[in-house]
Structure 1
Amino acid sequence: MGKLKIKVCGMRNLDNIELLSKLPIDYMGLIFYEQSKRFVDQTVLLDNIDLGSIQRVGVFVDASLDDIKSKIRLYQLNAVQLHGVESPAFCQDLKSQNIQIIKAFGIDKNFNWEQLKDYQDDVDFFLFDTKTENHGGSGITFDWNILKNYTLQTPYFLSGGLTIDNIASAAKLDDLRLFGLDINSKFETEPGIKNIKLIEQALNIIQ
């Protein structure tokens, strides 16, 4: 699959976003789920920040199509990440917006991998996170051995409790379908504020 992509999720502070934009990352996530501690309200507009080649990802949980489409326009999103019970048809509708679709699933030992087959034609990537009640951002890692049960060819992001201590192991997972690593809570000084130096360290580890 080539060099692993790096996605930094849960950004919400403009100064912090500007600092992050100077790093060689590939995707930046903005969370539009109101119950998240990293929720982005409409005062956080990116018009004056040059993100270069960094892809903007909007993260949603069971939002309406109209709401997602309005955020695509307002924030010039390149990708949408869906963390709810959105259907394959819902994903297909959004794909018509000419953006990448990332469908997230919370993983545990009882996860039903068969359900992914219905989505494989309507998404660009899966994202495998630790199963929690809060739709991600838990800082908890799941057992990566469970990924051996994944049989499809759709590439995926690995999320859930990635830290400076385990990111090297994540990057070395022997799976050509592993497209990128998604980092969030373990690289923060507080919810929504990333430790830029720690992210730089992580990038140096996995390059």
Structure 2
Amino acid sequence: MADTLVKICGISTLEILAAAVKAGVDYVGLVHFEKSPRHLSLSQAARLRGLVPPQVKVVLLVVNLSPATLAEAVREVRPDVVQFHGQETPETLARFRAATGVEAWRALGVRDAGSLADAAQFHGAADRLLFDAPSSGLPGGNGTRFDWDLLKAYKAPTPWGLAGGLTPSNVADAIRLTGAPLVDTSSGVESAPGIKDVDKIAAFCKAAQQS
């Protein structure tokens, strides 16, 4: 099996960015959503983005932005990927990709097998699907997981990733059980909401990379 890609979401300081890069992450996530404890303004996100080395890709997480605000965000932050975490439709993603050429991911809350069936509508519109625990008011970062057994036999034409409740202690098991090609964590490497822990980031990446 190919090496599992690792994304650390909710990066908000230079120190934590440096720790994630040192740990060997493939993606760093910058959150632009005011209700999140990990929220960055566009200028803050742009400043951090400028410090990310070229081997690491930048994912900008957004929630139900208007087309004009989304265009402004892409211009200012210059992300490699935009992760849509609201009620955005396949048509929204398809239009975004056609207009910008920027990679588009769609996060989807998984409650049951029907959630995975519903994900089929995004095939051809999203570059990657990110399966997360169902939303409890915030777009991810809630520290809860869903039933990973649902993904044991998952096969689809669209690349995907696993999020929701992943920690240094369970990520290896999650990869073995689901075969996830990408794992994504935020609260699982924090000491408090929005406060990342350098040691937990290193441990998470090591566990994922060795699984």
Could you tell me the TM-score, scaled by structure 1's length? 0.90
SS at match of 1:172: helix
* Cα shift at 1:148: 4.4
- Separation in 1, partners of 2:79, 2:192: 25
Q: Is the 8 A contact 1:37 1:192 kept in 2?
A: yes
* Cα shift at 1:189: 2.2
Q: Is the 8 A contact 2:130 2:160 kept in 1?
A: yes
Choose which of 85, 88, 96 in structure 2 pairs with 1:86: 88
RMSD of aligned alpha carbons: 1.9
SS at match of 1:18: helix
* Cα shift at 1:20: 2.4
SS at match of 1:68: helix
Q: Is the 8 A contact 1:16 1:193 kept in 2?
A: no
- Separation in 1, partners of 2:77, 2:52: 13
What amino acid does structure 2 have at the position aligned with 1:141?
R
Q: Is the 8 A contact 1:21 1:52 kept in 2?
A: no
Segments of structure 1 that go 5 or more residues without pairing to the other structure are none
**Aligned residues: percent identity?**
29
Find out whether 1:109 has 2:109 as its counterpart.
no
- Larger deviation, residues 80-89 vs 12-21: 12-21
- Separation in 2, partners of 1:111, 1:67: 32
Find out whether 1:33 has 2:11 as its counterpart.
no
- Separation in 2, partners of 1:138, 1:50: 25
* Cα shift at 1:191: 2.8
Find out whether 1:23 has 2:5 as its counterpart.
no
- Separation in 2, partners of 1:50, 1:131: 30
Give the aligned partner of residue 170 of structure 2: 166
Q: Is the 8 A contact 1:62 1:85 kept in 2?
A: yes
SS at match of 1:56: strand
Give the aligned partner of residue 56 of structure 1: 58
Quick check: which one's helix share is greater?
2
Q: Is the 8 A contact 2:19 2:202 kept in 1?
A: no
- Separation in 1, partners of 2:120, 2:205: 33
Give the aligned partner of residue 72 of structure 2: 70
Cα gap change, 1:112/1:49 in structure 2, threshold over 3 Å: closer, same or farther?
Answer: closer
Give the aligned partner of residue 130 of structure 1: 133
* Cα shift at 1:15: 2.9
Give the aligned partner of residue 198 of structure 1: 200
